[in-house]
Chains A and B, each alone.
Chain A
Amino acid sequence: MNIKKAIRDGLSIVFENFKMIPVVYIANTSLALLLALPVFSLLNNDIGYKGIRDEMTSGFNYEWWSGFSLNAEGLEKTIRPALSGGFAALFDNFELLFTGKFTSFGLMIFLFGLTYIFLNAFFNGGVIGLYADEKRTFSISRFFSLSGFYFHHFFALALTAVLLFFVFYKVIHPAIFGLIDHFSVKWMSEKAVWFLNLAGYFIIGLFILFIKIVFDYARIILVVENKESSWLCIWLAFKFMIRHILKTFGLYLILILAGLGLLLVIGFIQELFQPKTLLLLLLLMIFQQVFIILKIGLRFTFYGSQLELYRQYKPEMITVKKRRKVK
């Protein structure tokens, strides 16, 4: 019951404050556009006059690409067959989480990812700050002033999370697969080794989820409990998560399922929809942008629901008691 209520309440605060979604969406799109423009120009120069453009209008010319990719540098390396499918490019992104090869799309993409992480450390202050506020009245200026207010704490939390994940991918990740290889080196069954590796990836996924949940609650506790120490909040969040492990994980998994549902929808739309005209392409782009907006909305639902779940266990903290003096 708790989870259901948390999601319901979470959704309602997301709706009440829906205007902050466009702010984050604009940040996302601007960053992406900044790199999409050079990609457009390099593609336009390469295939704009070429015969293969006919095939690139309706499908993907593998032969051109495999020649192109041989000497590809920088952003050129990110132009690949996976972009043609409905799901493949999205799988590529999730694959990064499991392999930790974050620079595989080049340094530029890596830096943009990092930028987005810290940019959102800023926005998240506004989002959670407003969600935790009993008045819940959204205004852009309030959003930005709350973002600014919490920034040094949220930045510290984001930095800690990134460093922790760095250690995770450098130490724990290889250790898990090192153990798997050690145990399975003499196994004769190829399938058994395969499933053991799959289990390895599953454990990796659990680890990521674990760290992610702790940091989500750390931010919530920081705002709700009005704490000064981000480190203390991580500790409190950890304790909270462990004490209510079924609820915290359960809530997260349900929301992940919702995310997968969204992914399936956009994946199938992209799979079925191979636009050959500008009009159809624009239509597909609208679908894609709606997906990104929903994805951001869903992320905020995570924050809202987790906040509500936390509140359920801390009834005395219906709202932030001692609201800091914020304009």
Chain B
Amino acid sequence: MWQRIRLEPSRFALHLAVLLIVAMWTLPTAGLLVSSLRDKNLIATSGWWTALTTTVRSVQTRTKDASAQVEQDGVFVISGNLFDGSEEGTGTVAAFGTRVAKPDEFAPGSTASYDDGRSLTVNADGTYRYTSPVKFEEGRGQRVFFMTSVPPRFTTENYSNVLFSQGIGRAFVNSLTVTIPATIIPILIAAFAAYALAWMKIPARGFMISVVVGLLVVPLQMSLIPLLKLYNASGFLSKTYLGIWLAHTGFGLPFAIYLLRSYIAGLPRDLIESAQVDGANDFKIFRRIILPLSFPALASFAIFQFLWVWNDLLVAIVFLGTEPDKTVLTYQLNSLLGSRGGNWEILTASAFITIIVPLIVFFSLQRYFVRGLLAGSVKGG
């Protein structure tokens, strides 16, 4: 393979073009991931693409107050480290100043003098010496402005924050509670129906298949009002997990039956007839022959349904409601988007938690996913 790469201009342009497209497709997600791992102050003040570079930032702090002064050789001295008490912890001082407009007036190691004889010396490591000929009066410390270069720094703090205090952790478990049965139940129901529609002798088979295909494109939104009324009337379904499982099952069934039926109908006829002659009833044929042989199709539908349910917002809002103990990840993220619209550290970390599971599922089972897509689309759906 490697020998075939020749860097003639047109090949080079081809590689470059694809690289560019891939970059365009991955950068938005990369931005999210990188940001979610950055310090919240950094997210708000510098682009995520600078995360790996050392940034220079201006910081404002105060010296210690008068109580820290000591008298040395007739002068009163307050000494300490500028980084104490600042969020940075440690760092290097690139420059400092005494006025907000000029935080980079003095180089580290030099001394800034104030009008009344006070002076301030700041070293590169942040240690300072603030002196005065007369005793410092009581009150807060002197304001100091300095430029510091911040080395790249990553933290998982955003994640622990959203998981435990923004309700994302609970929503994660809720999402799983919704998604797992809402994936398995339709597979079972659809597989049985698909087998019946593919191989069993029943009246109106063709008609039923047409109905399923027709329902493939019915907009989900159509169903919401009638179902909501039905749920409210029934009492036991509204705002319960059972209710949302059944809703996702109902909405997923047309595609599931369609996909599985076309796969199962493609299994060799002889196998099924041979099992019939061998005296297996249809339930046994389904369990022993159809299920094992349909694994690829079952897997690909499972991935579809999993992604669809996990990523769904609409059905969750309508059928599960908005009480905090049942909300799912997408809902939680959407409401954070409303209430914490500017807090990118919360949004990025929450968003990444919501997309990590589908990404894992997707990458580990991509083969089946693609196969299912192809079966579902190329064959005429």
**Bind each other:** no
